[in-house]
């Protein structure tokens, strides 16, 4: 089972605050020894309270689109930095949460507790006091939204893992805290059904009871840009194995990334919500 406790995020924030206090104390000590200007240091500014979310009634919430791989969140803002590495911070809603266009702005979607039978974990790509901006798994690709952190009902964790897919070299690399665990030649989308680029994440983990081409399928939070449906699904792009090694190094799929068995074993240990970067 995936471990989302490799690094406690609240403890990380507390450590960051403690470091800031240490630096500030050292600065005051320098002033006291006569190496700075005379007088007391200026008082730290009072932190501004978090922006409060717009009120959303139960009836309004029921009319919002669900941010799932089957959903479309047309009013959600687009990822402003789709090729910037993600933070590794991931968020899980314990109850359905409202997603906003911006802190204090209008509601644009809801984020459910589960996705494709797996717990929902989405990556945080930006934050401000009281709010986290996350990637959404819905169409259109690169949809994002803001989650208000007040009121409880949220878990946060840190994943040190990153999956990098370079379409130019057809190479998939798995990193753990920046250390390379392995790199493999893979198959990607054909010219008519290319693999979409940009930052995304591991959305779910599916183990078919009667596998045909792969014992494990890892849907991502992105979709084919040319197929609106495939195999009865919504055209979700994923990482999975393939029985014929002749496909590796070739552009042959409908958008998914086909990986060898060793790569699939490494990917099977990666927590949900972990960042995936796909570059051309």
Tell me the domain boundaries of the chain. 53-158, 161-279
pLDDT tens sequence across 55-80: 999 999 999 999 999 999 999 999 99
Question: How far apart are alpha carbons 159 and 176 in whole angstroms?
Answer: 9
* Mean pLDDT for the stretch of residues 214-226: 98
CB 140, CB 69: distance < 8 Å: no
CB 165, CB 186: distance < 8 Å: yes
Whole-number pLDDT of residue 40: 64
Question: How far apart are alpha carbons 121 and 92 in whole angstroms?
Answer: 5
The CATH class of 161-279 is mainly beta
CA angle 252, 254, 257 (to 5 degrees): 70
Give exposure, 73-100, as e/b (b: 16+ Cβ within 10 Å). Answer: beebbebeebeeebbbbbbbbeeebbbb
The total number of residues shown for the chain amounts to: 280
pLDDT tens sequence across 123-135: 999 999 999 999 9
Spatial CA neighbour of 259 closest among 193, 207, 182, 198:
182
pLDDT reading at 1 higher than 60:
no
Confidence at 39, pLDDT banded by 50, 70, 90? low
CB 195, CB 225: distance < 8 Å: no
Whole-number pLDDT of residue 45: 73
**SS3 for 115?**
strand
Confidence at 5, pLDDT banded by 50, 70, 90? very low
**Percent of the chain with pLDDT strictly greater than 70:** 85
Spatial CA neighbour of 270 closest among 212, 186, 185, 201:
201
pLDDT reading at 90 higher than 50:
yes
- How many angstroms separate the Cα of 234 from the Cα of each of 113, 140, 204, 223? 19, 12, 14, 8
Question: How far apart are alpha carbons 224 and 237 in whole angstroms?
Answer: 6
Question: Which residue carries 């600065």 as its tokens?
Answer: 27
């Amino acid at each position: 089972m995936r471990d989302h406790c490799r690094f406690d995020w609240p403890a990380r924030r507390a450590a960051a605050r403690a470091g800031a206090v240490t630096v500030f104390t050292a600065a005051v000590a320098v002033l006291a020894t006569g190496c700075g200007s005379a007088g007391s240091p200026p008082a730290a500014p009072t932190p501004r309270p978090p922006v409060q979310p717009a009120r959303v009634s139960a009836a309004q919430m029921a009319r919002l689109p669900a941010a799932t791989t089957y959903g479309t969140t047309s009013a959600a803002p687009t990822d402003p930095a789709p090729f910037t590495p993600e933070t590794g911070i991931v968020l899980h809603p314990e109850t359905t949460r409202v997603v906003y266009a911006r802190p204090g702005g209008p509601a644009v979607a809801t984020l459910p507790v589960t996705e494709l039978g797996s717990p929902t974990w989405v990556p945080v790509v930006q934050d401000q006091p009281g709010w986290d901006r996350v990637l959404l798994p819905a169409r259109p690709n690169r949809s994002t939204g803001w989650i208000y952190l007040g009121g409880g009902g949220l878990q946060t964790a840190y994943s040190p893992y990153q999956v990098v897919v370079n379409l130019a070299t057809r190479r998939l690399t798995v990193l753990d805290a920046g250390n390379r665990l392995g790199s493999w030649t893979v198959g990607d989308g054909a010219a008519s059904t290319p693999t979409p680029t940009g930052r995304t994440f591991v959305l779910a983990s599916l183990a078919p009871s009667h596998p045909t081409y792969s014992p494990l399928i890892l849907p991502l939070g992105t979709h084919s840009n040319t197929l609106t449906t495939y195999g009865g699904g919504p055209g979700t792009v994923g990482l999975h194995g393939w029985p014929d090694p002749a496909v590796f190094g070739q552009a042959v799929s409908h958008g998914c990334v086909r990986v060898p068995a060793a790569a699939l074993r490494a990917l099977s240990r990666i927590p949900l919500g972990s960042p995936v970067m796909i570059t051309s």
